[in-house]
């Protein structure tokens, strides 16, 4: 049965799932649900006695009598620590590897042997079944999970993530390919890279069923796959009728869905609509979404990530403001989220261009702080460290023991209370890392973040690190930036007001204004943003739910480029009217 036939009821199934679809066909498991999403389950589609896989890559047919000549077949990619990359037909994340046929003729794989030793071992070797064929130029995904009873794509041995030998032999015993792979962390692969595929390397860029990337990259953080800087991601979300109707009836509902991303199919993920004043939309419009991968299944992950946040960018006509601003903050060693543009398909239908924003959770805290056991507070509009508004803050994370204890926030509020001139300057300097605080506040001014902490206060997080006792402001929600110049001496946020009243912090703030301005000026902003524009413009133009025109987007990017060219210089001129020192 052709893979296309598997999804006659769900035309939106992404091509990247061919290998997983093939596995489902072999198992007799349905590949598509009633809403067109790839969800598994359902009645058998093929008879176990006449199983066939045809994804233009690999076929198995027990009645096949045509024996093709043995040729070169390569071990192409190995996933010995598969935690959330690719799933088998039982929705399990098993060890896997991939074979590739580089020739222009099909290869009959019946009788070929996969082994973990230099010499044949009849007790542990994996003999591929008669009738299995790897088509010309094709790929075959096999699961080394020690459960051959699950089907012909499952072998009798497992892979060792600390590294071992993997050998592919022809039926006559000659070696077609072998590789001794290195120790591999969760969700990394060991594969062939480079233009000729001769360079073996560990990489976060797993591509099951697809050609390998040319460059393996230098990152070994598997979550970086979700935040690339050079391509647009694709997420496929499936909701059945009941769960879609629940979101339609109640925008605060939490429902179940199935998420597909580059070969990984995650069932029972939590789906909810997100957004505050100005950005919240119903599911019938450009709804921003939060996807909780572990809401219904303990330990649920995608490339190591617990949650996904898909922002709708309806308040950013440029759809690039957060990309540039958060990059600047990270370059300044200010904790800020990674972001990447992504397209979303819901039940097979294109729903538009989104921004995948790294969520503020314990994983984010671990990336930036040595001690991740503290409280993380969300500053909603108007909430601040003042006696009258501190209780408005939400808690994103409740410390190491997940206990609702806000005594640390109460203590900070007490420290900052009273007349500015009476705040204990020594205690304030011990409570914040002043250079980081100054760069955060200055960064909001330089990018014109009028809806941030300094000017509103709004769109920020506060993290308390227990081991040091220090607090850190995390800038957030920078989608309305690079538009208006702000007065750097008129803060509204209480922490910012105290900082400018404490001489040591005020000096740090002046220095930070200069540092941030020079950092932003040093960027090749025009070339960066035009590259991003050209990459996302086709997706934006075809976005059925966009609320601004492509012309407004292009004009907005031009405004952003102009703002970056002038506002930092204006701030430096204000700081140094007689000229900045060398």
Query: Considering the entire predicted model, what is its pTM?
Result: 0.82
CA distance 200 to 181: 8
Q: Would you say residue 109 lies in a domain? A: yes
Residues 204 and 302 in one domain: no
Query: Roughly how many angstroms between the first and final C-alpha of the chain, as a whole number?
Result: 71
**Domain termination site, one of 314, 337, 357:** 357
Three-state DSSP state, 483: coil
382: number of Cβ within 10 Å: 13
CA distance 579 to 582: 9
Q: Phi and psi for 23 in degrees, rounded to 5?
A: -60, -40
**Domain termination site, one of 357, 387, 421:** 357
Q: Would you say residue 582 lies in a domain? A: no
Residues 250 and 203 in one domain: no
396, containing H or E segment = strand 394-398
Residues 10 and 152 in one domain: yes
Query: 504 lies in which domain range?
Result: 369-575
**CA dihedral for 308, 309, 313, 314, sign (positive or negative):** positive
Residues 140 and 257 in one domain: no
* pLDDT for the residue numbered 91: 80
Q: Would you say residue 226 lies in a domain? A: no
Residues 473 and 534 in one domain: yes
Residues 385 and 349 in one domain: no
Q: Would you say residue 297 lies in a domain? A: yes
Residues 282 and 353 in one domain: yes
Q: Would you say residue 311 lies in a domain? A: yes
Q: Would you say residue 228 lies in a domain? A: no
DSSP-assigned beta bridge partners for residue 132: 60
Q: What is the CATH number of the domain that holds 555?
A: 1.10.1070
* pLDDT for the residue numbered 178: 95
Residues 291 and 179 in one domain: no
Q: What is the CATH number of the domain that holds 128?
A: 2.60.40.1260
- pLDDT tens string for the chain (582 positions)? 333 333 333 333 333 333 343 333 333 333 333 233 322 222 222 333 333 334 444 454 545 444 544 469 999 999 999 998 988 888 889 999 999 999 999 999 999 999 999 998 888 999 999 999 999 999 999 999 999 999 999 999 999 999 999 999 999 999 999 999 999 999 999 999 987 778 999 999 999 988 998 899 989 999 999 999 999 999 999 999 999 999 999 999 999 999 999 878 888 999 999 988 889 999 999 999 999 999 998 888 999 999 999 999 999 999 999 999 999 999 999 999 999 999 999 999 999 999 999 999 889 999 999 999 999 999 988 999 999 999 999 888 877 677 788 999 999 999 999 999 999 999 999 999 999 999 999 999 999 999 999 999 999 999 999 999 999 999 999 999 999 999 999 999 999 999 999 999 999 999 999 999 999 999 999 999 999 999 999 999 999 999 999 999 999 999 999 999 999 999 999 998 877 676
**Domain termination site, one of 220, 254, 281:** 220
* pLDDT for the residue numbered 205: 92
Residues 154 and 9 in one domain: yes
Q: Between helices 321-331 and 503-522, what is the axis angle to 10°?
A: 120
Residues 499 and 553 in one domain: yes
531-540 long-range Cβ contacts below 8 angstroms, 24+ apart: 532/320, 532/323, 532/341, 533/320, 533/557, 535/230, 535/231, 535/232, 535/341, 536/232, 536/319, 536/320, 536/341, 536/353, 539/232, 539/341, 539/343, 539/352, 539/353, 540/319, 540/353
Q: Would you say residue 288 lies in a domain? A: yes
Residues 373 and 353 in one domain: no
Counting the structural domains of the chain, the total is: 3
Q: Would you say residue 225 lies in a domain? A: no
Residues 162 and 183 in one domain: yes
């Amino acid at each position: 049965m052709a893979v296309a036939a598997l999804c006659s009821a769900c035309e939106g199934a992404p091509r990247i799932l061919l290998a997983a679809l093939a596995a489902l066909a072999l198992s007799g498991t349905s590949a598509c649900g009633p809403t067109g999403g790839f969800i598994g389950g359902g009645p058998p589609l093929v008879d176990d006695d006449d199983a066939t896989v045809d994804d233009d890559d690999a076929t198995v047919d027990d009645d096949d009598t045509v024996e093709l000549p043995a040729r070169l077949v390569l071990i192409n990619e190995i996933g010995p620590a598969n935690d959330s990359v690719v799933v088998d037909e039982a929705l399990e994340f098993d060890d896997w590897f991939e074979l590739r046929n580089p020739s222009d003729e099909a290869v009959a794989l019946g009788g070929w042997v996969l082994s973990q030793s230099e010499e044949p071992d009849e007790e542990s070797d994996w003999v591929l079944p008669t009738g299995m064929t790897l088509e010309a130029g094709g790929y075959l995904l096999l699961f080394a999970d020690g459960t051959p009873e699950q089907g012909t794509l499952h072998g009798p041995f497992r892979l060792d993530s600390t590294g071992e030998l993997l050998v592919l032999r022809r039926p006559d015993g000659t070696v077609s390919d072998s590789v001794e792979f290195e120790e591999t962390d969760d969700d990394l692969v060991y594969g062939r890279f480079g233009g000729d595929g001769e360079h073996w390397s560990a990489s976060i860029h797993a591509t099951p069923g697809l050609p390998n990337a040319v460059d393996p990259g230098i990152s070994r953080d598997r979550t970086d796959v979700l935040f690339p800087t050079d391509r647009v991601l694709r997420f496929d979300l499936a909701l059945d009728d009941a769960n879609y109707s629940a979101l339609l009836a109640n925008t605060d509902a939490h429902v179940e869905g199935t998420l597909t991303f580059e070969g990984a199919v995650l069932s029972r993920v939590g789906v909810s609509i997100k957004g505050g004043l100005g950005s919240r939309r119903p599911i019938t419009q450009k709804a921003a979404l939060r996807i909780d991968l572990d809401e219904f299944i303990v330990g649920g992950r995608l490339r190591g990530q617990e949650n996904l946040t898909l922002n709708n960018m309806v308040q950013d006509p440029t759809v690039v403001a957060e990309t540039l601003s958060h990059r600047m903050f990270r370059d300044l060693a200010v904790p800020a989220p990674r972001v990447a543009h992504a397209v979303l398909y819901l039940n097979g239908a294109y729903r538009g261009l989104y921004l995948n924003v790294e969520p503020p959770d314990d994983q984010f805290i671990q990336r930036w702080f040595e001690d991740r056991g503290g409280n993380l507070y969300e500053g909603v509009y108007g909430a601040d460290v003042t006696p009258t508004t501190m209780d408005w803050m939400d808690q994103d994370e409740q410390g190491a023991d997940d206990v609702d204890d806000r005594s640390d926030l109460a203590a900070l509020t007490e420290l900052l209370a009273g007349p500015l001139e009476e705040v204990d300057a020594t205690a304030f300097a011990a409570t914040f890392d002043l250079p980081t605080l100054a760069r955060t506040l200055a960064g909001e001014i330089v990018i014109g973040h009028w809806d941030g902490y300094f000017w509103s206060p709004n769109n920020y997080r506060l993290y308390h690190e227990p081991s040091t006792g220090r607090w850190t402001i995390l800038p957030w929600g920078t989608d309305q930036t690079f538009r208006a110049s702000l007065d750097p001496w008129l803060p509204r946020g209480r922490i910012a007001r105290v900082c400018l009243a404490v001489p040591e912090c005020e000096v740090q703030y002046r220095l930070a204004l200069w540092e941030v301005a020079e950092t932003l000026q040093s960027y090749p902003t025009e070339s960066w943003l035009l590259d991003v524009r050209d990459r996302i413009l086709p997706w934006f133009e075809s976005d059925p739910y966009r609320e601004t025109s492509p012309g407004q987007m292009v004009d907005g990017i031009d405004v952003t480029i102009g703002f970056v060219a002038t506002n930092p210089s204006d701030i430096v001129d204000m700081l140094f009217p007689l000229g900045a020192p060398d």
